[in-house]
Amino acid sequence: MNFLISLLGACFGIILAIVIIVIIIYLKIRKEVGGSNMKILTNAARQAASNPQEFSGEIKNVSGMTSIYEPRILEDFPDFNKELLFNKIETCLNAIFNSLENKQISSNDELELLSNFLQEKIDDLNSTNTNIRYDNIKFHRHAIKGYTKADRVATITTSSTLEYNYINDKDNKYKDVKKQTRYTCKFVYVYNTNTLKSANNSKLDKKVFILNCPNCGAPLNNLINNRCEYCGIGINEINLKIWKICSYSEDYK
């Protein structure tokens, strides 16, 4: 019994000593940096604990199985080059970031299928008086994480790890965070237009294909004089025989 009491007393003494040491260190740091700066450091530590992915210096793991999907893609598309696709990922994501920074959709033709989605994000930024920037962008790794071929369209899903400084200025409240993150992108290739009809029921040129109206979002199966049959806006034809990015998402937010 006496041994147990002594053990508990020793444990309590150790805990008390640790608490005292922590308090002494805290008071010394507070004295050096000042009360206001200490509050900033404390808030930053709390935010880092609640959002570890934004403050971690570790490169995220890429999610994919390129060695499995690449042979399947090559069977259907012998000219496919994964390095060209990986370069396209970087080109597209940089164009997306620039569009959001400038609040104007890039003239880059690679983003044609994302115009509606990007415009919605830009409208959200404007409505909340928010400005954002992506600085010091550095890509790490890319991988193919999925491949399907159905309904005249082939789709490749990719995974990419990258880092950047994400700068958010909302209502004059400035935030600059270095992020290690990962993006999932999807690219489509329309390989068969035999069943697609134009307004006069003739075959469409197999070099072009349009998914949705960039203005109203309506499906563009029928075109009259290269105009949307719903809202009447003029439509630029989209090149069919290349991979086009159709969606993207950030895995860590």
- Say what the pLDDT of residue 147 is: 95
Question: Does residue 117 share a domain with residue 139?
Answer: yes
Report the alpha-carbon distance of residue 226 to residue 199 in Å, rounded.
10
Question: Does residue 66 share a domain with residue 159?
Answer: yes
Question: Does residue 46 share a domain with residue 66?
Answer: no
Would you say residue 35 lies in a domain? yes
Number of domains in the chain: 2
Question: Does residue 116 share a domain with residue 14?
Answer: no
Question: Does residue 192 share a domain with residue 107?
Answer: yes
> Under DSSP, is residue 187 helix (H, G, I), strand (E, B) or coil?
strand
Report the alpha-carbon distance of residue 86 to residue 64 in Å, rounded.
13
Question: Does residue 148 share a domain with residue 26?
Answer: no
Report the alpha-carbon distance of residue 62 to residue 77 in Å, rounded.
24
Question: Does residue 69 share a domain with residue 32?
Answer: no
* Token output for 11: 């444990």
Give the DSSP letter of residue 59: P
Would you say residue 55 lies in a domain? no
Question: Does residue 142 share a domain with residue 187?
Answer: yes
- Say what the pLDDT of residue 137 is: 96
50 C-beta neighbours (distance < 10 Å), count: 9
Report the alpha-carbon distance of residue 49 to residue 56 in Å, rounded.
10
> Can you list the residues of the chain whose pLDDT is less than 70?
1-9, 12, 30-57, 151, 191-227, 233-241
Question: Does residue 188 share a domain with residue 112?
Answer: yes
Would you say residue 181 lies in a domain? yes
Domain residues for the domain of 15 are: 2-50
Would you say residue 193 lies in a domain? yes
Listed residues 27, 50, 73: the one ending a domain:
50
Write the pLDDT tens digit of every residue in 228-248: 777 776 655 555 568 889 899
Would you say residue 172 lies in a domain? yes
**Percent of the chain as helix, strand, coil, to the nearest 5:** 40, 30, 30
pTM for the model: 0.63
Report the alpha-carbon distance of residue 157 to residue 134 in Å, rounded.
23
Question: Does residue 67 share a domain with residue 46?
Answer: no
- Say what the pLDDT of residue 193 is: 47
* Token output for 150: 């159905």
Report the alpha-carbon distance of residue 24 to residue 44 in Å, rounded.
21
Give the DSSP letter of residue 242: S
- Say what the pLDDT of residue 112 is: 82
Question: Does residue 156 share a domain with residue 231?
Answer: yes
Question: Does residue 239 share a domain with residue 121?
Answer: yes
Q: What is the CATH number of the domain that holds 129?
A: 3.10.450
- Say what the pLDDT of residue 32 is: 64
- In order of 11, 112, 160, 200, the CA distances from 147 in angstroms are 58, 21, 16, 34
- Say what the pLDDT of residue 3 is: 60
Write the pLDDT tens digit of every residue in 103-128: 998 877 788 888 888 999 999 999 99
Would you say residue 72 lies in a domain? yes
